[in-house]
Amino acid sequence: MSQLSREQKPAPEAEIRSRVFEGDRSLWIIFTVLLVISILVVYSSTAKMTYDTAANMSLFDALQKQVMYVMLSIMAIFVTHKIHYKIYMRWTYVAYILCILLTVAVYVVGEKTNDAARWLSIGPIKFQPSEALKIATILMLARAMESRQAVIDTLKIIPTSFKFRSPEQLEIIKKNTIPLLGPVLLSCAVIAPAHTSSALIVFIASIIMLYIGRVNLKEIAKFFMVICAVGVLGLGGMELLGMGRLNTAMARLEKWGNEWVGDSTAKSISEISDTQRALIAIHEGGLVGEGAGQSSSRVLVVHPESDYAYAFFVSEYGIIFGLILMLLYIWIFFRAMDIGQKCTTPFPTLMTLGLGLLITGQAILHMFVQVNILPETGQTLPFISRGGSSLILTTVALGMIISVSRTNQNRLKQR
């Protein structure tokens, strides 16, 4: 009697699933949970958008669009997690140059939101090139640091004197400063006029990557001081040219300070700030929340589907689930750290850590604004806030992290 050989036997269902959902299972679970929350938050907030005449949106328009973006993000993560990280490394330069060109194009032909040019439309598709540029910058820095790992702890990345024409200083600038810091400086300069907080996230993530990559602390400190000085001068110059948003940033800082020391008890609802509305929503939610679709603050919160999604989520599901949501974002970074530590080469290690920092950093920044720890930034909540380009490109970043974990697992299986 003939029998099927071991190789011919049908693969168990669990094995088939593992072939489809390869890589870190924890990240897959987190991704799924966050997408479900996204649909719930957007659906619950559609009531306010329906009554917003400026939005010109029916009850299910926003939900239908968000479901479409969720489906596109699922397709994006399946594609990106199947691609080997060496492909990302190979195409880093091309991707970075393209992202820079598209981000610059936004200032010429892009659409403006709140007096800031951020959106680029190609036919029916509207997206933010700066979201892609953040990812490309992390890849550029990871690639530059990988090729210098043997001597990176002794490298001079900032010129040691102002005699920039001397052979010694020119060599430092050419071999170290431009390759390592040039992409970070250029990206921050291009992103800052439209979205200063996004440029800040890129800068902070880059600083942490330099530290993790064993760059000398003195060099990091010098870079920090240089970027701060250049940033102040650059923002001032852009404001004089009418390109920056310094007045907006200063107004937000002033408002933030007044909310800490001022008395808001005598103000009417129409007079309180966006952050104060978010704080009221969090307070109304309490420990267990008012229930899905039952938030009494949904009309009070400004942009509950995007800029203040976390406050709206807490108002409906409570502080307990709000803390769990925060832990999910922190978990993403710790999973990225664990995946990076298992890599055998520097590039995937630095790439996963950098992308994890981008995702978790943006989430924490968003949450800190809701509770008035930081002034208003306009940062959305990754994977949850309504929108297409942010959701899909953040998904791409997560898919790249899962791609590295998939490669690690395959390597271990081959041993």
Residues 6+ apart with CB under 8 A from 150: none
Domain ranges of the chain: 23-255+272-409
pLDDT band at 123 (very low <50, low <70, confident <90, very high): low
What mean pLDDT value characterizes the chain? 81
120 DSSP β-pair partners: 127
The answer to whether residues 193 and 245 touch, using CB atoms and an 8 Å cutoff, is yes
Taking only the tens place, the pLDDT of each residue in 294-348 is 777 777 777 777 788 898 899 889 999 999 999 999 999 999 999 999 998 999 9
- Tokens 């680029």 sit on residue: 120
Contact 137, 183 (CB under 8 A): yes
Percent of the chain with pLDDT over 90: 34
Half-sphere exposure of 64 (CA within 13 A, CB side): 5
Which pTM was predicted? 0.86
Quote the pLDDT of residue 251.
61
- CB neighbours (10 Å) of residue 83? 15
Q: Average of pLDDT values for 60-87?
A: 88
Section 66-74 average pLDDT: 89
Question: What's the CA gap between 107 and 238, in Å, rounded?
Answer: 13
Kindly tell me if the per-residue pLDDT of 137 is higher than 90: yes
Give the torsion through C-alpha atoms of 207, 110, 41, 368, to 10 deg: 30
The torsion angle over the Cα atoms of residues 364, 366, 369 and 375, rounded to 10 degrees, is 100
* Residue 307 CB coordination number (10 Å): 24
- Best CA proximity match to 34, nearest among 295, 356, 309: 309
CA distances 124 to 54, 120, 121, 127, Å, are: 20, 10, 7, 10
